[in-house]
Amino acid sequence: MTIAEMFEQSGVFTLLGMGIVFGFLVVLIISVSLTGKIIHALWGGKDVTAPVKAGTSPNGGAGAENAAVTAAISAAVNEYRKSSL
């Protein structure tokens, strides 16, 4: 097998591999789109990605509790850093 034949074979394999990957991606896009349409049809078109209003918490008012937990963790980390030095 000569160098030219090996280059030709590697080119064919490269194009074949890229074609298979491209085909898989096309099938994946189509299946995701169809799944989205089916889910949209089953749930009556409800918008599950509606934005949350400013000043409200998505879990029913636990925003202040989350802020308190975040503040406590931040204070603990700062205290640890001070004592570690």
Give per-residue pLDDT as tens, 56-74. Answer: 555 555 666 788 889 999 9
List of residues 6+ apart from 52 with CB closer than 8 A: 58
Please give the distance of CA 81 from its chain centroid, rounded to a whole number.
34
Of all residues in the chain, the percent with pLDDT exceeding 70 is: 74
Residue 63: in which H helix or E strand, if any?
helix 63-84
Evaluate if pTM is beyond 0.95. no
